[in-house]
Amino acid sequence: MKTVEEIQAAILAAFPAAEVAIELNSSPSAQHSLRLGHAHAVAIATFLRDDAALQFDYCSNVTGVDWLDREVSEKVKVKKIVDGAEQEVEETVKRTVPGYLEAVYHLFSTVHRTGPLVIRMKTANRVDQVAMPSLVPVWRSCEFQEREVFDLYGIQFTGHPDLRRLLMWDEFKDHPMRRDYVEPDDYEYEPTPHDHVQARADAHKTAAEKGAA
Amino acid sequence: MAVDENLKIELGKQGVFVTTIQELYNWGRKNSVWPMQFGLACCAIEMIATTMARYDLARFGAEVFRPSPRQADLMIISGTVTKKMAPQVVRLYNQMAEPRYVIAMGACAISGGPFKQGYNVLKGIDRYIPVDVHIPGCPPRPEALIQAFMTLQKKIDQHHLTGEGRPRYLDAEAQGEFPVPEFGAHDLEPARNKGVWVLPEEIR
């Protein structure tokens, strides 16, 4: 079986201009993945499917990931004047890394009996630029799974033949698997509340008691 | 109105059968409750098992599962009611002819069960339609469904045909159609039918 590095090299040999990066997985599974740029994604996917040495003919799974904005603190050496003399001082600088949405595809080759090859794509941000190319033209089995990702994470797959919600109803506005999803506040009756359910049920209690008083 | 039980037994020994219209009416009704052929999730498998030879729901006069709500008397809510399915469940209930009964079978149907704090599961079908018998379990054993069925039969047996406590189908004034919830932007609208589901008062 080819390693991720070899597959990356094969892709770069076929498409010299393509963006293909390796995302290392440091866990014991060591399931490294390839991050594809949007521009060549469909061409690369077709190549992965059709190349005689690879033949990833089966897309078993598509899933989404929501990465929130996060703060990173870095230590930076800054030259400052301390007690009249110039000195190098370490300062912690906080920087916000913008969040994004990600789709993860798991590919198998039924011919070579290899897999999974994990490929990923990410959107520009998680608010308004949430489009990425659909891989349904390459693997038909992505159709419902991309619809599910669209439904639950809100990723717009351009080129998808029928991008509608799959699980929730069409009038539904939210994307429930996003980390900032706020569920409807129907905690007015909780017979055995505990932890965060208790907190939300108590909020109802006080509101009702205030209304009665 | 009620005939003295001991007198009835004595007369029975002499070959005289005494009854009331109410008893006859309830007896007939409770022994021919036809359920609707309608399953929502894994509880439906237990419901099917209940109808088969080992548990044999036919002993209670309920072997005929009708595939149409027009011909059914009993709706067994067997499984998870998702918010997407809830309007269809209420619509099916509205399409059933009176008298009609509901058994909420399993943890999901009575409260949302393991999915209670999720985004897509209704926290109990009793928020929209009146439920006669709730049975807990995940899923309940066929014996539990039979127990629920016998409880329903006892309930039917105690109906009064006239007066204040008479069932809904004998009351011309009673509400027979239950509003079907709409799909809203964030949740079903309304989130509950306030005429059916009243918040229980908590003891403090």
Q: What is the pLDDT of residues A89-106, one digit of tens each?
A: 888 888 888 899 999 999
Instruction: Write down the CATH number for the domain with range B28-189.
Output: 3.40.50.12280
Chain A residue with minimal CA distance to B202? A191
Domain boundary assignment for chain A:
4-66+100-182, 183-213
Is the Cβ–Cβ distance between A58 and A111 less than 8 Å?
no
Listed residue (B62, B70, B55, B45) closest to B140, CA to CA: B45
- Look at residue A208 in the predicted model and tell me its pLDDT: 57
- Look at residue A89 in the predicted model and tell me its pLDDT: 80
Estimate to the nearest angstrom the gap between the alpha carbon of B4 and the chain centroid.
Answer: 31
CA distance B83 to A165: 14
CA distance B30 to A180: 51
- CA torsion sign for A145, A149, A152, A156 is negative
CB contact under 8 A, B84 and A168: yes
ipTM entry: 0.77
- Look at residue A213 in the predicted model and tell me its pLDDT: 46
With a pLDDT cut of 70, the percent of chain B lying above it is: 98
Contacts of A189 in chain B (CB under 8 A): 199-200
- Look at residue B43 in the predicted model and tell me its pLDDT: 92
- Residue B8 or A149, more confident: A149
- Residue B153 or B174, more confident: B153
CA distance B40 to B81: 7
Domain boundary assignment for chain B:
28-189
CB contact under 8 A, A173 and B123: no
Mean pLDDT, rounded, for A68-87: 81
- Look at residue A209 in the predicted model and tell me its pLDDT: 63
Mean pLDDT, rounded, for B119-132: 91
Q: What is the pLDDT of residues A18-41, one digit of tens each?
A: 999 999 989 998 889 999 999 999
CA distance A199 to A202: 5
Chain B residue with minimal CA distance to A197? B117
List the beta bridge partners of residue A97: A70
In the chain, the amino acid numbered B156 is I
The CATH superfamily label for domain A4-66+100-182 reads: NADH:ubiquinone oxidoreductase Nqo5 subunit (3.30.460.80)
Q: What are phi and psi of B173, to 5 degrees?
A: -80, -20
- Look at residue B48 in the predicted model and tell me its pLDDT: 93
Estimate to the nearest angstrom the gap between the alpha carbon of B203 and the chain centroid.
Answer: 28
CA distance B9 to B5: 6
CB proximity B88 to A under 8 Å: no
CB proximity B185 to A under 8 Å: yes
- Look at residue B204 in the predicted model and tell me its pLDDT: 58
With a pLDDT cut of 90, the percent of chain A lying above it is: 58
